[in-house]
Structure 1
């Protein structure tokens, strides 16, 4: 939590309470309810108005690889978080945005980040997995005339892709410098193309390492993955 200018303000002094008890007037539970309503009206609604009222394009960054790396619970947490976030940004008549103002968003991009941490042959699987994750949103938003796309991206690529020889065959691989400073070449493994089932986590054979950014060479363009495609989807019609 980053309270910023609201640090120690009474509007933030509440906590979740699990239960259906009707609060008594003047009770601590009643105060929690009051603070939460104030939080919605004084913090959340102004936040949406300030930052989203004028947007007509949105991009949602999803760190799919980190959640896969951390296991079943982390992946489930990411699914839940993505679902809850998209409830706020759904485009039906009952959404938070629609109740506050009339949103004008007509393009929505879901981007699977850190695409440079897997070999290029896995980018299609990464895209398909992301599509499965956002499928409920995809089906609904299509009826609201909002164009959607999923892309694997890396704003600054930290690795180089190539091939190594393994058992007499060419094996896709990536090379880069790990966060700890070690230079490494590896095949991180396969990304599942569909939502993993329970037994997947017992036999998964991947490890998505964290890499340092490459050494920046002045006057040269920063290496990236699919940032041009992201900009093409989001802004091409604006630049005609």
Structure 2
């Protein structure tokens, strides 16, 4: 049984411009299932340096980092784990007695999922986005052997820099381009103002064999629905969210839950 909240309770948190419920529900469900004296709470902030100072000062054990803070948080930390350093993007902070280390569990989650695909590694992919999550996803694809790619990003400087670093091509607009794998790493299709937006055209979806959408809420984005209707293989944002959150959970607590416990936590998180 989970202990009642008290002075010994450890706090974990998330920082995002648009806080969601997945992380809070996933982590808190597992805390309860495993009887761990932890609490997880989602936050947003307009004072990122102040928020990071608070993590350190209050002994907050861990913090998930989402858009738009994944790159801006780096100079505020004490160090980076290898994948976060290579990508120059952080989605997880672990606090060890006041020392804040940045990790990137997005990278490992995406790499695990794309390495499991039965797909031609030499076929082209087209990725929309250029922010911190795009860095993690694009690097995971290249490291998994998908090296023939194009980064489509309206931010020409960031898009070109990401493409150059990975040996890929950059374009400002994906219109008219076709690829075997389509990857959406933008808010298009996310609950809110962009909920009805389709990240790629029906013609692009028809020409693809695999569609990846990092948006986790809603579970079925317009892009995923269109891809499923066209009979395409999909990698969902919910699958990415589960794997990266599970790695965060282990980093924060040192406890590895069982498969059934993870499945129950995922179902609970997606129902919220």
TM range (shorter): 0.3 to 0.5
With the length of structure 1 as denominator, give the TM-score of the two structures. 0.32
With the length of structure 2 as denominator, give the TM-score of the two structures. 0.29
Whose radius of gyration is greater, 1 or 2?
1
